[in-house]
Amino acid sequence: MDMQIFVITAAWMLVAYLVGGIPFGFLIGKMRGVDVRTVGSKNIGATNVFRTVGKKWGVIAFACDVLKGLLPTLAARQWALDPELPPDEAWLPLVVGVMCVVGHMLTPYMKFKGGKGVATAFGMLIGLAPALVGTAFALFALVFAVSHYISLGSCSAALFLMVAVWFPILGTEGYRNLPQCILITLIAAFVIFKHRANIGRLLSGTESKIYLFRGQGS
């Protein structure tokens, strides 16, 4: 990799981190007069916005967090298709997507404290492996519909990704793309790690349930 490619790649990573770090959940809460850092789970992610600001605003926060993972990843994929670039640049979309997730989890705009990264990782994976993430989302939806725990659905989907990415199914390359397998596994593991407090509440029976079609959270 020559110096020009190195600088361009570093710029992609920095921009992805800064975009991923935009705290949409916090900003939406502030627009509605709620500091989500002080209510509910005190998390700036879409789930806490859903619970404390309202269902509509939680959905908007979720969509924004998905897009900030999806759009930079798609842009990097398009750029990496340039025939003048070396083959090594094929890994750039994955790294850009990962930097978006890291930005969400460790946002530079809020003293490196952020959300759990599920929605942003979802957006990244749509850009990288749509069939795989579609299956993971279906699993999330099923677990959430049955249990009414968003955290349980999120962890179930992340665990599925940690395993499924290693096999050549659902459009993935399995072991043939070892860096992708490793990085997606690490991101999924970090998502589960960020849910450790939720897991503790699930085990103790104190985790809050969310009902989409009832008055709660509106």
User: Residue 216: inside a domain, yes or no?
Assistant: no
Q: So what's the pLDDT on residue 63?
A: 96
Nearest to 119 by CA among 24, 208, 34: 24
Domain range holding 135?
3-204
Q: Rounded CA gap, 114 and 25, in Å?
A: 10
Q: Rounded CA gap, 172 and 194, in Å?
A: 25
User: Residue 56: inside a domain, yes or no?
Assistant: yes
The total domain count for the chain is 1
User: Residue 51: inside a domain, yes or no?
Assistant: yes
Residue located via tokens 């926060």: 61
What is the end-to-end Cα distance of the chain in Å, rounded?
52
Which of 88-92, 115-119, 169-173 has the least mean pLDDT? Answer: 169-173
Cα separation values, 99 from 73, 88, 134, 186, 187, Å: 10, 18, 21, 12, 10
User: Residue 212: inside a domain, yes or no?
Assistant: no
Binned at pLDDT 50, 70 and 90, residue 214 comes out as low
Binned at pLDDT 50, 70 and 90, residue 80 comes out as confident
Left (φ > 0), alpha (ψ -120 to 50) or beta: where does 171 sit?
A: left
User: Residue 215: inside a domain, yes or no?
Assistant: no
Average pLDDT of the residues in 73-96: 78
pTM higher than 0.85 for the full model?
Answer: no
